[in-house]
Amino acid sequence: MHSIDQSGQLSPVAAIAGEDNRYILMDGYLRLAALRRLASDTVRVTLWDCDEASGLLRVLAGAQAHPWAAIEEARTIRMLMQQFDQSQRAIAKHIGRDVSWVNRRLALIKSVSDSVLTTICNGHLSTWSAARVIAPLARANSAHAETMVRFLEQHPLSTRELSLWDKHYHKASHNVREEMVKDPALFLSALHNKEQDKQAIALAAGPEGVWMKDMNIIKAILKRQQSAIAMLFSSPHNASDQQPLRQAFTTIKTLVDAMCKEITP
């Protein structure tokens, strides 16, 4: 809106001739919405001499010049297939993509219900959330996906929060997942409190506590490595295989020797 208000409409929208002397807008919905909000009664239009299916293919091909959300591309492809009887191969050929790309786009919405897509179109759910979280979730558990969508409509989460929730969902047991879906905000709050408790413990322990924790980890790793020495270095015939192992050990030993010199008074 700011650009059009300052400089006018620089790029025309695209339309094709429809029935009853009306036109079908193919590309430029945002520009048209901005013009309406600015109370403009005129819009610059380029008329495409083609049918609706060809117009959609042309728009989809031009999406490579200005990025679309993946789900927008997927919905356009599905429309071409369902309403205009276009095959995946024909669509791929017309837009300069391969069939696997078309198939991957369709997979994004294959398990997503129409209600979820409506939620995206209404602006209650971002396309990132839908593509990265809701679509994979719907393929695994459609009921959980629907529940999450209903929650996000009323209680939007940031990208970081939703990504964190999704990360823990993947690692959780079935019972925990049920609780996570029932109240994602409560789960995130509990996770935040747990993280704060860890930070408080680390702060109370100070650098001495961090040192001891790290040294205990190193001790456990060295014990495990020591038990593997006999297996890795027993045969003299594997000298070439042993060389990078010995080099790695030498590097560690050099670091330990340097620390010993600093620690020893």
Last residue of a domain, one of 169, 189, 206: 206
Same structural domain for residues 175 and 249?
A: no
Same structural domain for residues 197 and 238?
A: no
- For residues 60 and 175, give the distance between their C-alpha atoms in angstroms, rounded to a whole number: 43
Q: Determine, yes or no, domain membership for 151.
A: yes
Q: Determine, yes or no, domain membership for 79.
A: no
Q: Determine, yes or no, domain membership for 62.
A: no
Each residue of 16-39: pLDDT tens digit?
998 888 999 999 999 999 999 999
Same structural domain for residues 117 and 202?
A: yes
Which range of residues forms the domain containing residue 256?
A: 234-265
Q: Determine, yes or no, domain membership for 153.
A: yes
Same structural domain for residues 196 and 128?
A: yes
Same structural domain for residues 126 and 190?
A: yes
Q: Determine, yes or no, domain membership for 53.
A: no
Same structural domain for residues 119 and 196?
A: yes
pLDDT value, residue 21: 86
pLDDT value, residue 150: 87
- For residues 16 and 47, give the distance between their C-alpha atoms in angstroms, rounded to a whole number: 6
pLDDT value, residue 153: 85
pLDDT value, residue 47: 95
pLDDT value, residue 10: 92
Q: Determine, yes or no, domain membership for 137.
A: yes
Same structural domain for residues 122 and 197?
A: yes
Same structural domain for residues 132 and 174?
A: yes
Same structural domain for residues 248 and 202?
A: no
pLDDT value, residue 255: 92
pLDDT value, residue 111: 67
pLDDT < 50: residue spans in the chain: none
Whole-angstrom CA distances from 158 to 92, 116, 245 are 34, 18, 45
Whole-angstrom CA distances from 44 to 5, 47, 65, 88, 137 are 14, 10, 20, 33, 42
- For residues 157 and 159, give the distance between their C-alpha atoms in angstroms, rounded to a whole number: 7
For the chain, what is the radius of gyration of the CA atoms?
29
Cβ atoms within 10 Å of 25's Cβ, excluding its own: 16
Q: Determine, yes or no, domain membership for 265.
A: yes
Last residue of a domain, one of 206, 225, 254: 206
Same structural domain for residues 196 and 246?
A: no
Each residue of 153-180: pLDDT tens digit?
888 888 899 999 999 999 999 999 999 9
pLDDT value, residue 126: 77
Same structural domain for residues 145 and 197?
A: yes
pLDDT value, residue 19: 87
Q: Determine, yes or no, domain membership for 180.
A: yes
Same structural domain for residues 199 and 238?
A: no
pLDDT value, residue 156: 86
What domain count does the chain have? Answer: 2
pLDDT value, residue 109: 80
pLDDT value, residue 237: 65
